Amino acid sequence: MSAPTTRPLRVGIVCPYSFDVPGGVQFHVRDLAEALMSRGHTVSVLAPADDETPVPDYLTAAGRAVPVRYNGSVARLTFGPVTAARARKWLAAGRFDVLHLHEPVTPSLSMLALWIADGPIVATFHTSTVRSRSLQVAFPLVRQSLEKISARIAVSEDARRTLVDHLGGDAVVIPNGVYVDAFSGAQPDDRWTGTPERPTFAFLGRLDEPRKGLGVLLGAVGAVLDQVPGARFLVAGRGETGEEQAREVLGERAGAVEFLGGVSDEDKARLLASVDVYVAPQTGGESFGIVLVEAMSAGAAVVASDLGAFTRVLDQGEAGVLFRTGDSADLAATLLRVLADPALRERVVERASAVVRRFDWSAVTDQVLAVYEMAVEGEHAPVGEDPSSLRGARLLELRRGWGDGR
């Protein structure tokens, strides 16, 4: 990959998922935009968001989104003629050198922008799945438009394989980024710091998404408490069902699981810097594992499911300890082994501190800019409107049931 451009670019970034309830892709888009701006580039982001939702000044809200079951979870998407009109207006005003679309085959804003725009277009694919009915449904809508993409990025080898298998073509793998120093420099918080008698474990994730693995973790808690009665399990994330689930599984011992609710970026870093072990019990649908990198950066020992994506992030188990996916008994045994072996914890934490540097935004931004440069060099005109975009408008009319989230 060639060296990144040094000339300032006007970059438009489109996120398909709503900033009303932000998640991994939204945080990636936010951090990429700010990393690019710190390099002197001009960036504008278009994303679904209610007009009343506080958003950064570089983000243009494309309107309210509606919750839709998508790729094993609930995504907040927006789609329809009104949203398309907002996207067209944003594109015309932006005069972008390059347009960067995230998840362009998700039936939301990025798909609309792909229909409408022409010129240097870069697309990032985040999804990892063995079989996706959603991609099978969406592919006919964007098959011709995919040819307009100048360069493709996948956030992991798993996401690249999903792209190849479902859509054809290939992509360069550029991982999600983390501001490593923000986590490595975080100060521990006494509320969450463990002791030999009361070690602390952390879990972060949406509590109402089974694939995030809270049920697997809860299934391991009892066996850990049998050996370490003072152990504390700190659960951070949004969702209504966590405490009820803990009571059902653990009964009187449910008090060992403390639900923190949603946490700020600053509190997340302090939490990860405080605990003895970060637990990632996800059962599938993970293309990368950004929270693993955050935990590794903060100095927590990581115990994670042996999913392919997690195994690669953890350097084949050298930068963390793996357990059999979905197996609560194996998770409990692994947690107890890690607690009982300080040398093991020290070894994986030391390896993790070296591994995470490849995911720092300083390295990731260089790689993204190199892709932008290739896309811009291959096109003689900046981003404009595709003369054939009215075809997309006709498709919208046929599918108005998807709505605009109004």
The mean pLDDT value of the chain amounts to 89
Count of beta carbons in the 10 Å neighbourhood of residue 340: 11
Alpha-carbon distance of 322 to 213, in angstroms, equals 14
Domains and CATH numbers, the chain: 10-177+360-399 (3.40.50.2000), 180-358 (3.40.50.2000)
b/e map 190-208, b = 16+ CB within 10 Å: eebbbeeeebbbbbbbbbb
Could you say which DSSP state residue 360 is in?
Answer: B
Confidence band for 130, pLDDT divided at 50, 70 and 90:
low
pTM: 0.86
pLDDT tens digits for 68-94? 665 555 566 676 788 888 899 999 999
Q: Cα separation of 267 and 269, whole Å?
A: 5
pLDDT digits (tens, 9 = 90+) for 233-246: 999 998 878 899 99
Give the three-class secondary structure for 172: strand
With a CB cutoff of 8 Å and minimum separation 6, the contacts of 162 are 125, 127, 128, 129, 132, 135, 154, 287
Longest Cα separation, the chain: 68
